[in-house]
Each structure stands twice: as C-alpha cells, then as structure tokens.
C-alpha cells in the first residue's frame, strides 16, 4: 500500500503550536484580507491606507478597523492566513516523493509560493526600504524560529533513514537560509534542478 506524504516525510505532521506560526484568522475575514492584499499589491504596504482597503471592499473605514484593525495588523493577519494556505497545499507537492527528493520538492514549493505571492513580489520590486529593516531586525528571529520548528522533523527523517544522518540543527538552519536567499535572489535556470544539485548529494542516505 502506498504511504501518505505525511508518512513518507514528517513535515506534514506538525500541530499549529509546533509550526510556530500564528493561528489562522477566521474565514469571515477573508473578504477584508483579500481587499487588503489587492491594495498591497497595487500600492505597496507603505502607501496603502485603511481607507484604500475600505474603498476596495465597498465599506466604510470604521468597518475595516473593527474587523481587521490597522494596516500593520492586516499584514500580520494576511501572513498568518497565507502561511496556513501554503501548508494546506504542500501534501500535493509531495505526492509520491520521499527522502531527499521530498526535501527538494518541499523547498521548491515553498520558494515558488513565496515568489509568486503578489504582495511579496510588490515589496521585493518596489519597496526595498521595507526589506532592509526586516533583514536587520527581524530576520535572525525568523530563522531561529523556523529552524527550531523543523530541526526535530529532520531528526525524525534521519532516524527513519529517509535522509542522511547530519546535525539536524545545522541542516535546518542551512535549509532556512537557502530558502530565504532563493526567494530574495532566484537562481538561474530551473529551481528544482538547482535545489536537487545542492541538496540530494548532501541528504541522500548511504546505500
């Protein structure tokens, strides 16, 4: 019997607490967050106002404040929602994959999702001043949180001989740093090929 993606690789077995990401916002907030995302992609996060979101949705500004708060809060809600949407899409990307190839597919799916996100694309293209402060102040914590979340899962994959035995903490951090780098500066050529050339020799378990 063919095993599920979660059985062949443990990344999909995380609880919300283990994921270290915020709880997803209620579904009824989707229209507000969709409107915010359209405005962020159109104007940028710095230039979007609550009034812009209200106009996009066809409601008054007070309603937007009451439902989703300030622009900063809308950004946090949008990130939480879209992170959970990404997690929901990952099983399909791992179908039939295991071992190092599962890691390659997982990394590729996450990088593509981030690179194709219209809000992030707008920020990277037109708001480099937003990226600088993030890299200086928030990135180390982001790396540490994601590393601490996935290191135990890599350990499980190593223990089950899905991938080669390495230091799970160092491997987790290297994967996180690689992913962030490739989102900010995409590689030439095919992403999957690039990742496979780097990761498969390192992660392939001994015969």
Q: Give the pLDDT mean for 82-88.
A: 82
% pLDDT > 90, the chain: 50
Q: What is the CA radius of gyration of the chain?
A: 19
pLDDT at 68: 97
DSSP 138: I
* pLDDT tens figures, 30-64: 999 999 999 999 999 999 999 999 999 999 999 99
pLDDT at 33: 98
* pLDDT tens figures, 121-152: 999 889 888 877 766 677 787 788 778 878 88
Tokens of 37: 């995302």
| Domain assignments of the chain as residue spans, ordered by start | 94-207
d(CA 86, CA 111): 11
**Kind and range of the H or E run holding 73:** helix 71-93
Mean pLDDT of the chain: 85
């Amino acid at each position: 019997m063919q095993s599920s993606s979660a059985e062949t690789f443990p990344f999909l077995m995380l609880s919300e607490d283990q994921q270290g990401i915020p709880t997803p916002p209620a579904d009824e907030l989707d229209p507000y967050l969709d409107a915010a995302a359209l405005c962020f992609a159109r104007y940028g996060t710095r230039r979007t106002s609550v009034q812009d979101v209200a106009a996009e949705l066809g409601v008054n500004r007070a309603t937007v404040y009451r439902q989703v708060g300030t622009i900063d809060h809308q950004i946090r809600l949008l990130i939480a929602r879209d992170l959970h949407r990404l997690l929901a899409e990952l099983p399909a990307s791992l179908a039939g994959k295991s071992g190092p190839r599962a890691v390659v597919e997982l990394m590729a799916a996450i990088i593509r999702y981030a690179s194709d996100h219209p809000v992030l694309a707008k920020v990277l293209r037109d708001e480099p001043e937003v990226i600088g402060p993030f890299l200086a102040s928030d990135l180390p914590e982001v790396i540490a949180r994601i590393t601490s979340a996935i290191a135990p899962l890599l350990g499980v994959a190593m223990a089950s001989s899905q991938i080669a035995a390495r230091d799970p903490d160092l491997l987790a951090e290297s994967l996180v740093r690689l992913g962030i780098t490739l989102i900010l500066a995409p590689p030439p050529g095919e992403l999957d090929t690039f990742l496979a050339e780097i990761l498969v020799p390192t992660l392939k378990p001994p015969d």
